[in-house]
Amino acid sequence: MNPRPVTPGQQAARTGPDCHDGVCITCSDMAVAVRVRELTTDGLAVVDTDAGPEKVSVALVEAGPGDVVLVHAKEAIAVVEQNS
């Protein structure tokens, strides 16, 4: 997949995932640090990104609201900061 960045305010009809600032949280080769907003009952978490809230899997980590997790391909792979 070759993600196409969208500039702020631009809307485009696309079939792939949304990409923000040239980095796609779904298919990029890098992990992105995001803060967990809430856990859902289906093993997912709503996280805060620069582009707004997104759902990611937290099946591999023990994270809770307020924690900062590293996300790669919509999967939290590490907790880097725990909410006190």
Residue 53: inside a domain, yes or no?
yes
| Domain span including residue 73 | 32-81
Q: How many domains does the chain have?
A: 1
Angle, CA of 41, 45 and 50, to the nearest 5° = 155
Distances (CA, A) of 46 to 4, 10, 14, 56: 24, 24, 22, 7
Residue 50: inside a domain, yes or no?
yes
Residue 47: inside a domain, yes or no?
yes
Percent of the chain with pLDDT over 90: 54
Residue 64: inside a domain, yes or no?
yes
DSSP letter at 23 equals B
Residue 26: inside a domain, yes or no?
no
The pLDDT tens digits of the residues spanning 12-71 come to 444 455 666 666 655 557 789 999 999 998 999 999 998 899 999 999 999 999 999 999
Residue 72: inside a domain, yes or no?
yes
Quickly tell me which residue has 């080769």 as its tokens: 29
User: Any idea what the CATH number is for the domain that residue 40 is in?
Assistant: 2.30.30.140
DSSP letter at 43 equals S
Model pTM score: 0.66
